[in-house]
Amino acid sequence: HLKGKTALVTGSTSGIGLGIAKALAADGANIIINGFGDAAAIEAERAALEVLNGGKAAYDGADLTRPEEIAAMFARADKDLGGVDILVNNAGMQFVSPVEDFPVEKWDMIIALNLTASFHTIRHAVPGMRKKKWGRIIATASAHSLVASPFKSAYVTAKHGLAGLTKTVALEVAEAGITVNCISPGYVWTPLVENQIPDTMKARKMTREQVINDVLLAGQPTKQFVTVEQVAALASFLTRDEAANITGANLSVDGGWTAA
């Protein structure tokens, strides 16, 4: 249902972003992937997306903590792919530390990537969407956009901000054929989760098994990690015409975490 449309998915060289890029490609959209990683692996993913969508897939390595690189990415999307119809703000990072020891440069980087980058992508995307009278803006927020956990001050702050940005922009563009929503996963098994286990072990003085069972899955009533495919399927649904009246929503995919 997305033939002729272009989707930009930030942070899509890995994890949830890559899963969303694949789902939107399978729906027929041209895709722009973004993020860091090994050049050969990224090229392989890009080529695979072109097989999936039977159209175009491009890679842009913009560092989203740099507003000028975001601007250049949108200029390129306008020139090569007719603009961005579907914007998925997914790139994000985590850092785990007690607030009094939280490295100032980590705080600044997490706010820049997990929150401010979405302000920049949105302000570049909205004018083109308004012209076409159609657009979809989706953020990968988090259960941490609704509730907190200790030692994640920057992440929880940024994700609560992202939920607020989503609601605000949804109201501004409500009559323009553009919907703005966020998806809030619980723990999804991706490199982001795997990589925070060692620091959580240190911060909480726990073993790896204790971190997985007593911290990560403790609050997830289903006792299962969410899958990348489950998040991607919801993103795909939000791009459909049937979802035209879902806007300003924060949609939980968290195994019941935030119901508790």
Contact between 122 and ligand NAD by CB under 6 A: the answer reads no
CB of 177 to ligand NAD, least distance (A): 26
CB of 66 to ligand NAD, least distance (A): 8
Contact between 36 and ligand NAD by CB under 6 A: the answer reads yes
Closest by Cα among 15, 18, 4, 23 to 237 = 23
CB of 216 to ligand NAD, least distance (A): 8
Q: Give the contacts of 135 (CB within 8 A, at least 6 positions apart).
A: 85, 86, 87, 125, 126, 128, 129, 173, 176, 177, 178, 179
Contact between 83 and ligand NAD by CB under 6 A: the answer reads no
Contact between 121 and ligand NAD by CB under 6 A: the answer reads no
What whole-number distance in Å separates Cα of residue 174 and Cα of residue 14?
32
- Considering only residues 161 through 190, tell me which ones interact with ligand NAD, judged by CB under 6 A: 185, 187-188, 190
What whole-number distance in Å separates Cα of residue 43 and Cα of residue 186?
30
What whole-number distance in Å separates Cα of residue 134 and Cα of residue 132?
5
Contact between 93 and ligand NAD by CB under 6 A: the answer reads yes
The stretches of the chain forming alpha helices (DSSP H) are: 15-26, 39-53, 67-81, 104-111, 117-132, 153-172, 191-204, 208-210, 228-238
What whole-number distance in Å separates Cα of residue 42 and Cα of residue 34?
9
Q: Decide: 149 and 156 in contact? Cβ < 8 Å.
A: yes
Q: Decide: 14 and 251 in contact? Cβ < 8 Å.
A: no
Contact between 220 and ligand NAD by CB under 6 A: the answer reads no
Residue choice 32, 91, 115, 211 for contact with ligand NAD (CB under 6 A) = 91
CB of 60 to ligand NAD, least distance (A): 9
Q: Nearest 5°: phi and psi at 139?
A: -115, 140
Catalytic residue positions, numbered: 155
Residue type, 80: D
Contact between 15 and ligand NAD by CB under 6 A: the answer reads yes
Window of 11-19, 20-28, 124-132, 236-244 that interacts with ligand NAD by CB under 6 A: 11-19
Contact between 137 and ligand NAD by CB under 6 A: the answer reads no
Contact between 63 and ligand NAD by CB under 6 A: the answer reads yes
Give the nearer residue to ligand NAD in terms of CB position, either 130 or 204. Answer: 204
Size of the site for ligand NAD (CB under 6 A): 28
Q: Decide: 206 and 215 in contact? Cβ < 8 Å.
A: yes
Residue choice 193, 197, 233, 246 for contact with ligand NAD (CB under 6 A) = 193
What whole-number distance in Å separates Cα of residue 130 and Cα of residue 146?
30
CB of 21 to ligand NAD, least distance (A): 10
**Rule CB under 6 A: which residues touch ligand NAD?**
11-17, 34-37, 63-65, 90-93, 113, 140, 142, 185, 187-188, 190-193
